Amino acid sequence: MNQFISVTRKLFTEDPATRFAREFDRPADCWRETWRRYKELEYTRDEAYEYLLIAAKCPVRRERFRRWLDRTEVYNLAQVAIRNGIEEMHIRYFGKLGPFVLKELTKNRKKT
């Protein structure tokens, strides 16, 4: 698979906390704190999900929550490349998240 992608799409450039806040009408800190607990405090996905439901009072389905974790991981990986001046990268850069990236980039496209 010889697939290069541009890192100019909002999946790579717009802070997931900002997108989350806009989509769920919550403060951006709500997602940042959930992410911090997941990454830095090593909450499991289930524990972070429970935190979001209970402490942040944010009703989100478990599958959507998992997608937000993956989006944030992809965003963070892309930011490293963007800071180094890279505008295009191979899909393998994202490792196991590669199929997720392709799905996110093509999910709203009409089939022809």
The CA distance from 5 to 76, in Å, is 16
The CA distance from 4 to 97, in Å, is 14
Domains of the chain, residue spans: 4-106
pLDDT at 109: 67
The CA distance from 98 to 10, in Å, is 16
Taking the whole predicted model, whether its pTM rises above 0.85 is answered as: yes
Q: What is the pLDDT along the chain (112 residues), one digit of tens a residue?
A: 568 888 888 899 999 999 999 999 988 899 999 999 999 999 999 999 999 999 878 888 999 999 999 999 999 999 999 999 998 999 999 999 999 999 998 887 666 5
pLDDT at 15: 93
pLDDT at 39: 95
Return the amino acid letter for 102: L
pLDDT at 95: 93
